[in-house]
Amino acid sequence: MANRLDITPMHFWHIAKRANMADFAGFNMPLWYDTGVKGEHLAVLRSAGLFDTSHMACIRVKGTDASKLLNYCFTRDLDFLQPWRCTYGAFLDKKGFCIDDAVIYRFDLTNFMVCVNAGMGPTISNHLEENKNRLNAEITDLSGKTAKIDIQGPNSAKILYSILNNADTIFKEFPYFSFKGDFDSNENEFESVTLKNNTPILLSRSGYTGEFGFEIFLEPSKALHLWEDIFEVGNSFGITACGLGSRDSLRTGAGLPLSHQDIGKFVFKNHPWEFALPYNKEKTGFTKSFIGRQALMEGKNSSFTLLFIGDSLRKIHPGDSSRVLDRSGKDIGWVLSCATDMAIDYLDDKIVSINSPGLPDNFKIKGLSCGFIQANEKLKPGTVITLKEKKREIKARIVKTIRPDLTARKKLNYFI
Amino acid sequence: MKELNDLNLPEDVRYTEDHEWTKASGDHVIVGISDYAQDQLGEIVFVELPEVGDSFSQGDEFGSVESVKAVSEIYLPISGEIAEINESLEDAPELVNESCYEKGWLVKIKPSDASQMDNLMDKTAYLDMLKG
């Protein structure tokens, strides 16, 4: 008998809007709505998109040794993480493989929240418990007890401005990868950020689209109300409900990995996300001891994860049956992810996005395929490759970044 | 996503298990993908079609349709030679979503054995298949 799928607090809204729903990591989630993946993708670059990401899981880690435990299990050196800042990294096993990637939020010296992927709450909680030994750390899996809504795109701040109490104060000094407030009524900062209806939220200036925006954590019982309020205010700004389809094409264009697809099957190194490893300044070693360190130091992984952009918007199926060929036709790897970023194109020899300044009049952006390959040699940017799956072949080239002119890191004031 | 009973499934076309449709038109047979297929694929951003004059057997892959996320192969419902392709799909692949039985047709073929049409499903059989 098939297992019943979990649902989020916005489930019946998605159904009422006749979203195309699918199973994703045990959750019944919207893939796209009436607007379609292309329109949803473009809405995030042009105005704002709203994503139900309540399938993701949160874990609270508290105690005098919370920092020590997380530092041992996570790839980022949390000694460098200030309170009210968050950081992206990974939980590795002893072989150096990625169990899951995550964002860790630091409230103070002894209080952290870990946000992991759908269905990974129990796995990472157990992993932390198993490595706790005598450390003083209390681990609470908040799976099912947290809702999450992401608002992404240039109009995100303007829309939230009308929904938040004291928005001016909250938006002051709010850099990328920082957060404010809490949704847990047992915590000190509870109610320091509230909606106009006085619902407490944790508001984080982050996201997984490469574009400016926020992630909002709150109690599940309050989530649908917020979701609908955001639409009420956001409609005049052209806000668009976005499903997992555009989330995938946006994150691919932003050069961000999908856990269990782009990371996880091999040692977590030689990839575009090495900023997530605690290298010392000279990159000769690591600043701390952590699970997987030995495997990374031994350098057993001789393959490389590289970004590519296709010559057109045409794609191939990624996965084990796909191949990457070099100019001489030699098989050098396979394709991990392949999506079309509908917001980019070639202008002469340069990649531009719909947000790039100075585009010629009447220049029509058609979109380009993009993604990640796993290659057994390091290829320089500009290297031409062929991606092949069965009879289908597309030409692509290795790049350092995919979608240009990303807005995620811009100052908040720019968008108000 | 459309409910099965809301699908536009014309009576005057024949359907395949892979969700293509086909319809006789003079000496030729027109081929496209069904309303169910376009709804499941989502927004189509590229259609790859064969050259006029190419020949295929029944069930051969003759092209592909791409959404933002996925590539789906399309298979020829009956054997024949490609007589015409829908060139308007090059600039407007979304026609497959907007009008899958009219403006969004894919190819016209000169069938080598028109009786193969008899093996294909009518609306009732196709809907029964979709309902499982």
pLDDT tier, A186 (very low <50, low <70, confident <90, very high otherwise): confident
CB contact under 8 A, A31 and B46: no
Exposed / middle / buried, residue A334 (Cβ in 10 Å: 0-12, 13-18, 19+): buried
pLDDT tens-place string over residues A113-122: 999 999 999 9
Across chain A, which distance is largest between two alpha carbons, in Å? 65
The verdict on a CB contact (< 8 Å) between A340 and B68 is yes
pLDDT at residue A2 is higher than 80 = no
**Of the ranges A45-54, A182-191, A334-343, B7-16, which one carries the lowest mean pLDDT score?**
A182-191
Asked whether the predicted pLDDT for residue A1 surpasses 60, the reply is no
Residue type, position A178, single letter: S
Confidence at residue A3, expressed as pLDDT on a 0 to 100 scale: 60
Question: Which residues in A lie closer than 8 A to residue B1 (C-beta atoms)?
Answer: 18-21
Mean pLDDT by 10 residues, chain B (132 residues): 90 97 95 96 94 96 91 95 97 95 98 93 96 90
The verdict on a CB contact (< 8 Å) between B1 and A367 is: no
Pure H helices in A235-299: 244-253, 293-298
Interface test mutation site (partner A, options B44, B69, B95, max chain A beta carbons within 10 A): B69
* Interatomic CA distance for residues A265 and A65, integer angstroms: 31
Decide which of A172 and A188 is more confident: A172
Compute the nearest-CA separation of B118 from chain A (Å). Answer: 30
Chain B residues closer than 8 Å to A11 by CB: none
Mean pLDDT score, A238-264: 97
Q: What is the mean pLDDT of residues A376-397?
A: 96
- Could you report the per-residue pLDDT of A301-311, keeping only the tens digit for each? 679 999 999 99
Q: Which residue has the tokens 């409609």?
A: A235
Count other Cβ atoms within 10 Å, centred on residue A248.
20
| Confidence (pTM) | 0.94
Confidence of residue A300 (pLDDT cuts 50, 70, 90): low
User: What is the separation, in whole angstroms, between the first and last Cα of chain B?
Assistant: 17
- Give the Cα separation of A179 and A223 in Å (integer): 18
Burial A212-225 (b: 16+ CB within 10 A, else e): bbbbbbbbbebbbe
CB contact A249 to B (< 8 Å): yes
Determine the pLDDT at residue A341.
97
Tell me the pLDDT of chain A averaged across its residues.
95
The conformational region for residue A293 under phi > 0 = left, psi -120 to 50 = alpha, else beta, is alpha
Cβ-based contacts of B39 with chain A (< 8 Å): 20
CB contact under 8 A, B71 and A392: yes
Residues of A in Cβ contact (< 8 Å) with B42:
20, 31-32, 36-37, 245
| Closest Cα in chain A to B61 | A391
pLDDT at residue number A319: 94
Gap from B2 CA to chain A (nearest CA, Å): 7
- Among B100, B52, B57, smallest CA distance to B78 is for B57
- Which of chain B's residues have a Cβ under 8 Å away from the Cβ of A314? 46, 48, 66, 71
Element (H, E) at A43: helix A36-46
Check residue A190 and give its pLDDT. Answer: 72
Q: Across the interface, which of A249, A314, A339 has its CB nearest the CB of B46?
A: A314
A369 to chain B: closest CA residue: B68
pLDDT, residue A302, reads 74
Q: Is A17 on the interface with B (CB under 8 A)?
A: no
Mean of the pLDDT values across residues A62-87?
98
Per-residue pLDDT of A317-360, as tens digits, reads: 999 999 999 999 999 999 999 999 999 999 999 999 999 999 99
User: In the A/B pair of chains, how many CB contacts fall below 8 A?
Assistant: 59
Taking CA atoms, what residue in B is nearest to A318? B70
Which chain B residues have a beta carbon less than 8 Å from that of A31?
42
Written as one string, the DSSP assignment of A204-245 is: ES--SSSSSEEEEEE-HHHHHHHHHHHHHHHGGGT-EEE-HH
pLDDT at A301: 63
